[in-house]
């Protein structure tokens, strides 16, 4: 690339912000961190230490990260010459709206403005901006330096060129952006997750399985399946040579009947107490950081295995 290094301003040093910082540094971008916490440099240093081992293959040496990293606690100065701005503050609509109004005034007109929100659309977020056309949602999954998907969400006011730039930016950072064809509350993946959680809570409440057994059931069957092929391809193959057409013609009406049997559990105090007690039983003997390390090690291993398998398929 003859292009000058891009300056990416990352706002916020929570879990998502820290993951983005590590990832962008790994891909050789100049990262400017905007946080009002005086201990931000220390938080970022520890975050990088925890995460750098799970960056994708081929990313840069963590030894070089210091030279790419800077801190600017003043928002206006932090975005004044940024090429890309990535917002990761808490899910508070008024907080985000006020922030984007200030960014809109202080950032270069051609800057790409991204929000990691999991909740709000660009139209929700940009109401106080003079020009919200460069604001795009890029919703990552925790941890964003490991999980490839970024859901890209545009609003009515969003410029199509900004969407294309967002896609290119996340690809440059080794991610897999998927552009939603229209905005919907909670976007796609979290809605699917919510549907599965609802039935999971139902099965716990009904005493069919415990929290730990439910987790094992998922990792040992549908989790493995969905890491390798999506739900529709799984059903397509479930139909044999006849594919999804065959599968739907055999099960079509039964599917709707099955949906009617799904649970509608209340999230009442008793349910919450049961879930917490069973989670304590299941995970209470391991620390947060040990569990996070194990998760990231496994996810990185799976991603590498899938990459190798894709290479084999190409070669075959």
Site for a second copy in 111-140 (CB under 8 A): none
Q: Which residue in the set 15, 97, 101, 174 belongs to the binding site for a second copy (CB under 8 A)?
A: 15
Rounded Cα–Cα distance for residues 149 and 310 (Å):
17
Residue whose pair of structure tokens reads 């929290």 in the numeric block = 211
Quick check: 199 binds a second copy (CB under 8 A)?
A: yes
Contact string 168-187 vs a second copy (x = CB under 8 A)? --------x-x-xxx-xxx-
Nearest to 202 by CA among 264, 122, 281: 264
Quick check: 141 binds a second copy (CB under 8 A)?
A: yes
Rounded Cα–Cα distance for residues 279 and 167 (Å):
38
CB nearer to a second copy: give 12 or 104: 12
Minimum gap (Å) between residue 293 Cβ and a second copy: 8
105 contacts 132 by C-beta, under 8 angstroms: no
Q: Which residue in the set 148, 161, 270, 285 belongs to the binding site for a second copy (CB under 8 A)?
A: 148
Minimum gap (Å) between residue 37 Cβ and a second copy: 16
Site for a second copy in 236-265 (CB under 8 A): 236-238, 240-241, 243-245, 248, 252-253, 255-256, 258-259, 261-262, 264
CB nearer to a second copy: give 71 or 226: 226
Quick check: 207 binds a second copy (CB under 8 A)?
A: yes
187 contacts 155 by C-beta, under 8 angstroms: no
**Which segments within the chain are labelled E, that is strand?**
7-11, 30-34, 69-71, 84-87, 112-115, 135-139, 149-153, 176-179
CB nearer to a second copy: give 70 or 271: 271
Quick check: 314 binds a second copy (CB under 8 A)?
A: no
Minimum gap (Å) between residue 256 Cβ and a second copy: 5
Nearest to 100 by CA among 135, 71, 137: 135
Q: Which residue in the set 57, 61, 63, 220 belongs to the binding site for a second copy (CB under 8 A)?
A: 220
Minimum gap (Å) between residue 119 Cβ and a second copy: 9
Quick check: 9 binds a second copy (CB under 8 A)?
A: no
Walk across the sheet containing 30-34 and list its strands: 69-71, 30-34, 7-11, 84-87, 112-115, 135-139, 149-153, 176-179
Greatest alpha-carbon span in the chain: 62
- From residue 241, alpha-carbon distances to 237, 246, 255 in Å are 8, 8, 20
| Total residues found in the chain within this entry | 316
CB nearer to a second copy: give 111 or 150: 150
Site for a second copy in 36-95 (CB under 8 A): none
Stretch that binds a second copy, among 1-9, 21-29, 157-165, 231-239 (CB under 8 A): 231-239
Residues in the interface with a second copy (CB under 8 A) total: 104
Q: Which residue in the set 93, 95, 168, 294 belongs to the binding site for a second copy (CB under 8 A)?
A: 294
Minimum gap (Å) between residue 41 Cβ and a second copy: 21
Rounded Cα–Cα distance for residues 163 and 153 (Å):
8
Q: Which two tokens stand for residue 185?
A: 């509350």
Quick check: 106 binds a second copy (CB under 8 A)?
A: no
Stretch that binds a second copy, among 22-30, 51-59, 77-85, 142-150 (CB under 8 A): 142-150
CA angle 294, 297, 303 (to 5 degrees): 140
Minimum gap (Å) between residue 153 Cβ and a second copy: 10
Burial classification of residue 243, based on how many CB atoms lie within 10 Å of its CB (0-12 exposed, 13-18 middle, 19 or more buried): middle
Q: How far apart are the first and last CA of the chain?
A: 32
């Amino acid at each position: 690339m003859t292009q000058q290094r891009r300056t990416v301003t990352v706002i916020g040093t929570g879990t998502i912000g820290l993951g983005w910082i590590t990832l962008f540094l790994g891909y050789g971008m100049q990262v400017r961190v905007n946080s009002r916490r005086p201990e931000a440099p220390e938080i970022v240093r520890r975050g990088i230490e925890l995460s750098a081992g799970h960056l994708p293959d081929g990313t840069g040496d963590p030894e070089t990260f210091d030279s790419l990293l800077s801190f600017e606690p003043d928002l206006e100065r932090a975005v004044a010459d940024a090429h890309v701005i990535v917002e990761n503050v808490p899910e508070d609509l008024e907080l985000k709206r006020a922030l984007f109004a200030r960014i809109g005034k202080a950032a270069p007109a051609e800057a790409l403005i991204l929000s990691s929100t999991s909740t709000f659309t660009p139209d929700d977020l940009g109401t106080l901006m003079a020009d919200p056309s460069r604001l795009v949602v890029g919703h990552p999954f925790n941890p964003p330096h490991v999980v490839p998907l970024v859901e890209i969400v545009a609003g009515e006011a969003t410029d199509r060129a900004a969407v294309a730039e967002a896609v290119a930016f996340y690809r440059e950072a080794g991610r897999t952006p998927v552009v939603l064809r229209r905005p919907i509350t909670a976007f796609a993946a979290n809605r699917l997750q919510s549907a599965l959680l609802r039935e999971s809570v139902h099965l716990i409440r009904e005493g069919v399985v415990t929290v730990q057994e439910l987790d094992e059931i998922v990792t040992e069957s549908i989790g493995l399946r969905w890491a390798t092929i999506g739900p529709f391809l799984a059903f397509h193959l479930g139909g044999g040579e006849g594919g999804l057409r065959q599968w739907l013609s055999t099960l079509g009406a039964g599917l709707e009947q099955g949906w009617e049997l799904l649970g509608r559990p209340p999230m009442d105090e008793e349910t919450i107490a049961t879930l917490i007690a069973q989670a304590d039983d299941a995970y209470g003997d391991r620390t947060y950081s040990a569990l996070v390390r194990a998760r990231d090690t496994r996810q990185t291993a799976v991603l590498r295995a899938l990459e190798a398998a894709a290479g084999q398929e190409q070669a075959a």
